[in-house]
Structure 1
Amino acid sequence: MTELLTIILLGIVEGVTEFLPVSSTGHLILAGRLFGFHGEGQGTFDIVIQLGAILAVVVLYWRRFWHVLEGLLRGDKGAIVFTRNVALGFLPSAVIGLFVYKGVKALLTSPTLGPVVVAIALIVGGVIILLVEKFVKHPPEGSVETMTWRTALGIGVVQCLAMIPGVSRSGATIMGALGLGTDRKTAAEFSFFLAVPTMLAASGYDLLKSHEGIGEGGWTAIGIGFVVSFVVAMLVIRWFLNIVTRHGFAPFAWYRIAAGTIALILLAII
């Protein structure tokens, strides 16, 4: 497989999985192992191309973000609460991420340990999603603006679990939100909004640490992956909201369990 085709396929994997509770980073690690794309360059590539998917959120929800900005300038309570909640949700991962960065990067770049951790995390996460879907009650639809600061901060704490490859940032935030009494649609949308500062910070910090070792070829790969993930994520986000509103998250849980099991089998063979 040519390097260009590998980069395009990885960009598609990122765009499809970033906002699904299946772990985009975990899928990139497994796909990188399958395609023979691993090492220091892969770690930075996996983190930074996620900005393409994040840009899709900004484009699709630009009116929402613009109204929040206008509201902040007017001192609107809803806009202030929205901004506060996103900031509180982001805060725990921003603090903890500084201390665990090296360990996480080591897992991301390990061609042996990383894929095994991902496979196990996929299975465990799938089981947790099924348990949350079965036992947690689903309240009437709300919004990010009606979410309490305690709920937003609690979701942010749960999001930190996603620093383990394979856990899924969106999965952790959505399940955390459901467990704290948020409805499905609001949980999914808050996960989208929370991804913007979280992934901007993660990508910026990684680039600050690793930019000297990327090289011209690495930047080209990141650029292509960025564009592909952006286009694919634009198509996936609306579809995902329709699925979870109608059918919940169980389909993604069963997928995680199946994917993790198959990954463990393949890793034992290859």
Structure 2
Amino acid sequence: MSIWQAIILAIVEGLTEFLPVSSTGHMVIASSLMGISSFEFTKMFTVSIQFGAILSVVVLYWKRFINSVDFYKKLLTAVIPALAIGFLLKDLVYAMLERVEIVAISLLLGGLFLIYVDRLFTEKEHPVTTPSYRNAFIIGLFQCIAMIPGVSRSASSIIGGLTQRMTRKSAAEFSFFMAVPTMLAATTYSVIKDLLHLEISDVLTFNLPKIQAGFNAITAQEWQVLAVGNMVAFLVAMAAIKFFVGFLTKYGFKLFGYYRLVVGLVLLLLLGLGVDIQLL
């Protein structure tokens, strides 16, 4: 992977990770069009640069992250469903991750839903701005829907927030906060397994020879690509988050719904043309 390819993927990641448009679908299309979707490093890179996107949330909302212990308890409550269901249904999730057509269909169906979702959830007279533990758990259940490739973690968790009478702004922000532990876990696991080629037990037991061997196996060019990718994803994600909160509050989901329809159709077109598309 070249530096320019890394920058393009990082821009795509930063733009789409926190928007309800499915970052997976966009990364599949971008990496396939550049002919790098089948590379093992590409698959690891697309997960690892999520760290840059995560950091953008922490920087933009740093005051919330030092507000109280209760904040972290609610985040943990919201993440528990995904951890539990992901563990129980991991084989089914892995099977779906091999089906590109599932991404395309999810984009299309999700797009149709977003076009009409604003009619279902109008702003309440007494909206919830800070979720309770019960609210957080239910929103976490909605996030689990995003285990289906192409659904969008952002869309499912924000809609989960709307079902709990949260405003669009509050639901979107809580979705961002939920992304931090969720994506951090996925990024850490990918780095350990796919970049350093270690087992979790090697890290937990601090197997220094194997850890050193893992770091030594990474080339200087790969470190450079990872560093640039995370930096670009961080900067782009910050801009995307600021735009999204304002846009969603004012205009709702409809435009994102139409956009998902276009992306889903593009993905189906690429499949029909025989383009080599592999899920990441």
Query: Which TM-score band (shorter chain)?
Result: 0.7 to 0.9
Q: How many residues align?
A: 252
Counterpart-to-counterpart distance in 2, 1:107 and 1:227: 31
2:10 paired with 1:11 = yes
Share of identical aligned residues, percent? 42
2:52 paired with 1:63 = no
Q: Report the counterpart of residue 233 of structure 2 in structure 1.
A: 229
More helix by percentage: 1
Cα distance change, pair 6–47 in 1 and its aligned pair in 2 (3 A)? same
Offset of 1:6 from its aligned partner?
Answer: 1.2
CA RMSD of aligned residues (A): 2.1
1:1-270 paired onto structure 2 within 5 Å? 3-39=2-38, 40-66=40-66, 68=67, 71-72=68-69, 80=70, 82-100=71-89, 104=93, 113-114=99-100, 116-139=101-124, 140-144=126-130, 147-213=131-197, 215-216=218-219, 217-269=221-273, 270=275
Superimposed CA distance per residue, residues 31-63 of structure 1 (whole angstroms, 9 cap, x where no aligned partner): 111111123323222211111111001011112
Q: Which runs of 5+ in 2 are unaligned?
A: 198-216, 276-280
Greater CA deviation, 20-29 or 35-44? 35-44
Cα distance change, pair 55–105 in 1 and its aligned pair in 2 (3 A)? farther
Superimposed CA distance per residue, residues 146-181 of structure 1 (whole angstroms, 9 cap, x where no aligned partner): x22222111111111212221111111011211232
Q: Residue 22 of structure 1 contacts residue 122 of structure 1 at CA under 8 Å; is this kept in 2? A: yes
Counterpart-to-counterpart distance in 1, 2:246 and 2:111: 20
Superimposed CA distance per residue, residues 75-94 of structure 1 (whole angstroms, 9 cap, x where no aligned partner): xxxxx2x3332111111112
Greater CA deviation, 93-102 or 124-133? 93-102
Cα distance change, pair 248–56 in 1 and its aligned pair in 2 (3 A)? same
Offset of 1:141 from its aligned partner?
Answer: 4.4
Q: Residue 141 of structure 1 contacts residue 185 of structure 1 at CA under 8 Å; is this kept in 2? A: no
The one-letter code of the counterpart of 1:179 is T
Q: Which runs of 5+ in 1 are unaligned?
A: 73-79
In the TM superposition, structure 1's runs of 4+ consecutive aligned residues that sit over 4 Å from their partners are 99-108
Q: Residue 132 of structure 1 contacts residue 179 of structure 1 at CA under 8 Å; is this kept in 2? A: no
What TM-score results when the alignment is normalised by the length of structure 2?
0.82
Counterpart-to-counterpart distance in 2, 1:220 and 1:95: 35
Q: Which structure has the larger Rg?
A: 2
Counterpart-to-counterpart distance in 2, 1:170 and 1:150: 19
